[in-house]
A = this chain, B = another copy of it.
Amino acid sequence: MKTAQDKYPSRTEGAEQILTRETPVIADDSATRKGPLTAEQVSAYERDGYLFFDSFYDSTAVKVLEEETERLRVSEEVRQSELAVTEPTSGATRSIFAVQTVSDVFSKLGRDKRILEIVHQLMGNAVYLHQSRLNLKPGFQGKEYYWHSDFETWHTEDGMPDMRAISCSIALTDSYEHNGPLMVIPGSHKYFCQCAGRTPENNYQQSLKRQDYGIPSDEQLTWLTDQTGIAVPNGPVGSILLTDSNLMHGSNCNITPYPRKNAVFVYNDVNNTLEEPFGATYQRPWYLGNREPETLEPIDFSQSLSQHNVSAN
C-alpha cells in the first residue's frame, strides 16, 4: 500500500474533507489543438466534467452493437467466466468486464477514431484501456447505483496515480428520464471527496454489486449539489457521454419495463499507469484494472462494419 506523496488520500480513517483538485482537467492546448471539438465544447468539458453527444452512432452501427450485445448477454461461456457479474437471484448477466477480449465488435468500438480523436484532444496524450464493461441494467428490478467518483476507487484500490482518465459511455438502449439514467453533478470533478473507512480485503468482489466503501457522505453530496445541482444527460440509443474520471455520478433504480444497456471504455493517459494501490492491501484483477498498458491506435469503426457485413454474407 502506497501512501507517500498521495495528493488524494481516501479511506484513511482521517477527517472526510473535500479537497480541491490540483490536476488540470484538460491539456493546456486542448482548445487550440487539432481535433473534432470546438473551443466551446472543450471549455464545457473543463467546466462541467462531461460532454454529451446525441445520436453519435447511426442506425447501422447501433444494429450491429445491439446484436453483439444480445449475443454476449445470452452466452453461457461469458456468463460463467470471471468477466461476468450476475444477478444474485436470476443468475442473469448484469455486467461484462474487459468486453474487448470477448468481442471483436466491441474491441473495434473501443478504438474508434471518432471517440479517440476527442479523447486525444482533451487529454493531449496517448491513451490505453484501463477498463471496459458492458452494462445490462434490467427493467422492473434494476437496482440503484449510489454516488461515487470512479477515480476514488481506481486510485485507492488500483493505484491510478492521478486524475488523468476519461470514460466514454455508449448508449445501447434509449435512455429516458424514468429508466434509471446516469445522473452527474456538474463541476464535481474539481473536488475530491475523501471517503470514510478502510477498504476491507477483496472488497471488489462485493463492490461490483453494491458499493459500501468509497461512498461520499450526505454532507459532501449536499455541498457538491449546492454548487450546480444535478444533470441527467440522456438520449436515444447511439448517444455517447464522455466523463472525467473524478466526476461524481450515480443512478436511481429502474422499475420501468425498459432495460438500460451501455458500453463503457475507460481511457487512461499512458503516463498515468497503475502503481501500488493507495488505500488497499490487494490488487484487483486485470479485467478491473489493466496493468499491461498498450497504446490504443485509432481505427475506422464504421469502415470495419461494412467489412463485418460483407464477411457475414
The answer to whether A232 touches B178, judged by C-beta atoms less than 8 angstroms apart, is yes
The answer to whether B250 touches A252, judged by C-beta atoms less than 8 angstroms apart, is no
- Interface pick from A45-53, A60-68, A88-96, A253-261: A253-261
Report how far A255 CA is from B254 CA in the complex, Å: 12
A302 at the interface (CB under 8 A from B): no
Instruction: Categorize the interface residue count of chain A.
Output: 20 to 34
User: Within A178-218, which residues are at the interface with B (CB < 8 Å)?
Assistant: 178, 180, 183, 218
Report how far A112 CA is from B288 CA in the complex, Å: 58
- Given A140-B218, A140-B221, A221-B140, answer yes or no on A180-B252 (Cβ-Cβ < 8 Å): yes
Please, which residues of chain B bring their CB within 8 A of the CB of A221? 140, 257
The answer to whether A178 touches B218, judged by C-beta atoms less than 8 angstroms apart, is no
A147 at the interface (CB under 8 A from B): yes
Q: Per DSSP, are chain A's interface residues mostly helix, strand or loop, or mixed?
A: loop
- Given A178-B183, A230-B178, answer yes or no on A255-B144 (Cβ-Cβ < 8 Å): yes
Contact of A253 among B178, B225, B232, B253 (CB under 8 A): B253
Report how far A252 CA is from B254 CA in the complex, Å: 6
The answer to whether A252 touches B183, judged by C-beta atoms less than 8 angstroms apart, is no
A156 to chain B, nearest CB (A): 21
A177 at the interface (CB under 8 A from B): yes
- Return the chain B residue nearest A254 by Cβ: B252
Report how far A230 CA is from B178 CA in the complex, Å: 8
Please, which residues of chain B bring their CB within 8 A of the CB of A144? 252-253, 255
In the A-B complex, the 4 residue pairs with the smallest Cβ-Cβ separation, listed nearest first, are: A177-B177, A252-B252, A253-B253, A222-B257
Q: Which residues of A contact B (CB under 8 A)?
A: 139-140, 144, 146-147, 176-178, 180, 183, 218, 221-222, 225, 230, 232, 250-258
